[in-house]
Chain A
Amino acid sequence: MSIKLINKDDVKEIDFEENITIEELLKKEEIPIETVVIKQNGETVTEDEIINDNDEIEVIKVIYGG
């Protein structure tokens, strides 16, 4: 499966073998979870949410540092 990850001006497609959670995605991408808010297909979600095929995941940084 594949998703679109938007991190400000950085937009990329990522492929996965199996379903993972937002938390696992952020760990893989080395994005500090404690400094961001995540939108999944335009809706704010918690880090426990499971990512589905073709999802659009937007990372919004709300804290400097990290």
Chain B
Amino acid sequence: MTSNVCTQCGYEHVVIHRKQNGQRLCSTCFRKSIEQKVLKTIKKQKLITKGDKVLVGLSGGKDSVALLKILNILKEKNIIELEAVTIDEGISGYREEGVRIAKDVAKELNIKHHIISFEDKYSFTIDKIMEVESQEEHPQHACTYCGVFRRQIFNQTAREINATKLATGHNLDDEAQSILMNYLEGNINNMVRIGYKTESRDERFTQKIKPLREIPEKEIGLYVLESGFEVHFDGCPYAHESFRMEIGDFLREETLKHPTIMYSTLNGFEKIKPAIKKDYMENHTGKPNKTCIKCGEPSSQDICKSCKFLEKIHEKLA
């Protein structure tokens, strides 16, 4: 039966039928195609140069596991140095599994692995914060705290180990969602910042790169499974119905009828971005770079967001 034959090598069992280009691929050709595409993106967008020390944010989820595995190809060719960092926010019944998988994957690939917990660093867990927060009249969402603290830990770890790049596992679905969300919300300030890499005005921020940006989320899941890695697909207990989820469902639904829609969302955006950016930046000069008087981290204000949150949380926990 022709429909079960690899269009690349002729092997008689395929694991994917790419509706966007008609390709049918066996497991080996599929994995190779993903790796080649990511390495091509890295080269074309100049995400990594020889001698870079790359730190991967490794949650243990499918995206970061795939990213680490692919970047390891460059490490094995002695093109880059590679380390991974996992953040344990203290979310009972959820995070343990991710941390365990992250440890296993880093060990298997022989990659230096840093595990940093909120408990050790800040003396609280997200669970503890949310327990107190639930007593409030208008409780903050867990993601608000989580995002700010995680960002701080990523930046600090990158600086401590002298990493030159900080790589994250953002995929095509994530990026198409961000683009569409910002269009619909009219958030041009956020929109002009979406890209393959960050262009920070402050050199104390390690440059962030997104090598998986052109790979659909489902293909990343398939890549990880076909590579023999275990992945935990359970959602975070604090995840909530969000605008991003609505947009994600809409884009996936549309992809069934229009298989190239996420690619065209990304590509179209990349084409108009320089124009929007030029026009927008002329009228909006960036915030001055300050230093947080409490922690010494780069900040747009005298006290950074993380320190403001820390103060508030310690007051509540006292």
Assess the A63–B235 pair: CB atoms within 8 A. no
Q: How far is the CA of A28 from the CA of B16 in the complex (A)?
A: 21
Assess the A62–B218 pair: CB atoms within 8 A. yes
Q: How far is the CA of A35 from the CA of B216 in the complex (A)?
A: 11
Assess the B225–A65 pair: CB atoms within 8 A. no
Q: What distance in Å separates the Cβ of B184 from its nearest Cβ neighbour in chain A?
A: 17
Assess the A64–B239 pair: CB atoms within 8 A. yes
Chain B: interface residue count, which band? 20 to 34
Assess the A34–B252 pair: CB atoms within 8 A. yes
Contact of A62 among B17, B221, B256 (CB under 8 A): B221
Q: How far is the CA of A35 from the CA of B24 in the complex (A)?
A: 19
Interface size on A, residues (CB 8 A): 19
A-B contacts, 14 of them at CB < 8 A, read A32-B252, A34-B252, A34-B253, A43-B13, A46-B15, A46-B17, A60-B225, A62-B217, A62-B220, A62-B231, A62-B233, A63-B252, A64-B239, A65-B248
Q: How far is the CA of A32 from the CA of B217 in the complex (A)?
A: 14
Q: How far is the CA of A25 from the CA of B112 in the complex (A)?
A: 44
Q: A34-B252, A37-B225 are in contact. Are A61 and B233 (CB under 8 A)?
A: yes
- Nearest A residue to B239, CB-CB: A64
Assess the A66–B252 pair: CB atoms within 8 A. yes
